[in-house]
Structures are given as C-alpha cells and as structure tokens.
Amino acid sequence: MRTLYTLVMYLLTPVILYRLSVRGLRARAYFGRWKERFGFIPDPGFDHCIWVHAVSVGEFNAALPLIRKLMAHYPDSPFVVTTVTPTGSDQVIKALGDSVYHVYLPYDLPAAVERFLDRVRPRIGVVMETEIWPNLFCCCRDRNIPIVVANARLSERSLKGYRPVQSLAAMALNCATSVAAQTGTDRDRLLKLGGRPEILHVVGSLKFDLDLAPDLASNGQALRESWGADRFVIVAASTHEDDEIPVMEAFQAILQQDPRVLLVLAPRHPERFARTSTRCRSLGYRTATRSEDGNPGPETQCFVLDTLGELMGYYAAADIAFVGGSLAMVGGHNVLEPASLGVPVVVGPHTFNFSEITELLLNRGGAIRVNDAAELARAWQQLQADPDLRGRMGQAAKDLVVEKRGAVERTIQLVQDAYGLSGRPDRPG
C-alpha cells in the first residue's frame, strides 16, 4: 500500500506544482522557495534538533505556547519549525525570528523526505494536529526519530475520508511514539482508524493554553477610543466567501437600527483580502483596510483586516465576534481566541472541525449558534440591545478557557518521555 501511495504521489507531482502555480497567481509567495518543498534546504549545521511542524497560521498559533515551553525545557537544543503555507511561514518569522531554523516541510516523497531529514537531523519531531504523512512517519521510524502528534483531532468526516486508505493511515499513525488527542471522542476515532491504544492519550486542546500578551486588553481599549468608544463593534473573523454573503446581509439589517455600528472583517485567506474589500465597497459601505488606512475612522462602516497576526488585538476591541467557516460548509475555526478575551461568540451550523470545543462553549452560555443571515442579524441585535447578556456570555466563555488550560504541560510530558527514547535502537513501535 505504501509503494502504491508513493507511486501516486510521484504521478501527482505535476498536478501539485500546477496547483501551487495557480495559488501563486493570487498570492505571489507561493512562487517562492520551491526547492524547500523537495527537501533541498541549506544545511543548518547542527545535530539533534527538536523539530516542530505546523501546517499554517492556526496550527502554528496553537503550537506557539508549546514551542516556547520546549525552548525553556531544552535551552541548549536547536529548534526547527516547518510549515506548508507562506502565511504560516510569515507567522513563524514574526513570532520567533531567528531563534528557530524555519523551512517548508517537503512533499511526502521518499527522496525529498530523506533529504530533509539528512539536513536537519532531528532528535525528535512534534507534528501538530493530524498531519499523517506515511513516508515521513515511516522514515522517522526507520531512523529511530520519535514522533509526537500534538493536539490531534479527527472529525467524523475525516475518519470516513480515510476509509479507502485506512490500512496505510493506521500504519503511518502507529509509527508515532505518542499521539496527544484533544478529546476522548478524537481518541475513539483514532482507535477506529487503527491507532494502537497504548500510544493514544487524551490531553485536551492546546488552543486553551493561549499565550496572551499582557497589554492586549489595554491596546484593545485604545483601539476603541480611536474608533469612537461608544460604537458597537462586531468582528467577523476567519471568513470564507460563503460566510461573508450572510454576514453582509446581517450587517445591513443591524445598520438600519444603528448606523454607527462597525464591522471588522478578517478573511481567512490573504488571497481574498482585495476581493472582500471590493465587495464591501460595491455594496455601498464606507470601507477602509488595515494595509491602506491603518485603522477605521469615525465614518468607517466596514474595516477589512488585510494583514496577518493582528486578529487578537481586534478581538480585544470587539463587543461580539462571529467566527467564520461555520456558515460556509468548512467546519468552523478557532472559537477560543475571542472566548479567551471574554468576547461573546456567534457561530453558524457547520462546526465539525471544533465540534466538542464549540459544544462546550455553547453549553456554558458563551456562544450562540445561528443557521442563516436572518438568525445572525437577530443574534447581533439581541446582543447589542442587552449589555448584561454580553457580559454574562463573555465571562462564561473566559471561565471555560481558564478551566480547560493545561494541555501544554501534559503534551510536554509526552515529548519529554519520547525525547528520552530518541536514538535507542530498541525504541517501541
């Protein structure tokens, strides 16, 4: 099965490169650093590094508290951080600078993977979420490099998607030394996939252990003062096209009651920044963007956050937050970022990527679920009219995040256990 998989990967390589080129037409950064995607990277000149892989921005943000704790635990060890997307790469450079060696993870082709491992020579690998790459995991096993899969999650939809290649996925998963599942449901699904019980652990979600800047609240208040402190501010974050259409309809309804409401729109993907601001202007809204205008003025109705790494600052200035990917059938994005700041959350019906976390937040009263633009407008109007309700929801959301923290320390323990096994030829698995 692995041989067949490798053959298919080689046959698909021209298609992958074509897709990369198409994405490059929208985001120029995809045209750069192609050699890294095939394992041709400069030799960093060190041995026995700790390697952490996070696909893109969301995964890296969840990994950041873990990376910083690992750096404190292993101050003499070099660190390698890999991503797949340019936006993830930008976030690594912004957050960690030259304290880590950063490159793209190569495609899962044996020769590319071998070149990558020859250059970075990791003592241990920490792979965020459920990035199960058969050749990568098997090569690490063959070299006695322990792998810890951190913050692992597996939706019912993804489990069904693995069925045609279940034996291959199970073989790769079982190359890992430990798998730190977010919830008991995730562990059960990984068992169904074929994971060995002894490597599966429930540790909670790293996303609860957000690394909040101490001046975040004061900076948020300063933003509010510059916009007009008494304005009602809605942040619609990580939005996709199928989120933004109902968001705009709901915004039109709330504007009819209060023309001073400010909508901050943060599209999920950079290639959609310009399209989103164009749509806002075409609908007649007075629109500003972060890159061109800095911050919204008193007359701004729609403000498009077309930069990366600043969303938490705008959540800190919000009255309520809508988290995208949930009216669009994408599966939802991270509801814990606004929740950690005590901001009431509104989500759509499609939250299967964060199903248990979203349900916890809903059950605690920190979030509201809506199904369409009309329900979204009613939820926003209700929250605007009732400051006490906003306060109760925000406190419930914040309390939940505080209560569920601790996944970083539990994951660190698994990493330490695996780190002690590295280099041993008799390592289990």
Q: Which domains does the chain have, with CATH numbers?
A: 34-205+406-421 (3.40.50.11720), 217-403 (3.40.50.2000)
Inter-CA distances, 59 with 108, 130, 142, 155, Å: 19, 10, 27, 16
Q: Catalytic residues, which ones?
A: 59
What are the residues whose beta carbons fall under 8 Å from the beta carbon of 277, sequence distance 6 or more? 287, 289, 302, 304, 306
Task: Enumerate the β-bridge partners of residue 115.
Answer: none
Specify the pLDDT at position 429. Answer: 34
What are the residues whose beta carbons fall under 8 Å from the beta carbon of 44, sequence distance 6 or more? 78, 80, 101, 119, 120
Phi, psi of 145 (to 5 degrees): -100, 110
Specify the pLDDT at position 275. Answer: 94
Per-10-residue mean pLDDT of the chain, 429 residues long, equals 93 91 83 93 93 93 94 95 94 95 97 97 95 95 96 91 94 97 94 97 93 88 86 97 96 94 95 94 96 91 93 96 97 95 97 91 98 97 97 98 95 94 45
Helix (H, G, I), strand (E, B), or coil: what is residue 201? strand
For residue 100, the Cα-to-chain-centroid distance in whole angstroms is 20
Specify the pLDDT at position 422. Answer: 63
Contacts 24+ apart (CB under 8 A), 55-58: 55/83, 55/84, 55/85, 55/88, 55/128, 55/129, 55/131, 56/83, 56/84, 56/85, 56/87, 56/88, 57/85, 57/87, 57/88, 57/91, 57/308, 58/333, 58/334
DSSP string, 28-76: GGGGS-GGGGGT-------SSEEEEE--SHHHHHHHHHHHHHHHHH-TT
Based on DSSP, count helices (H) and strands (E) in the chain, helices before strands: 18, 14
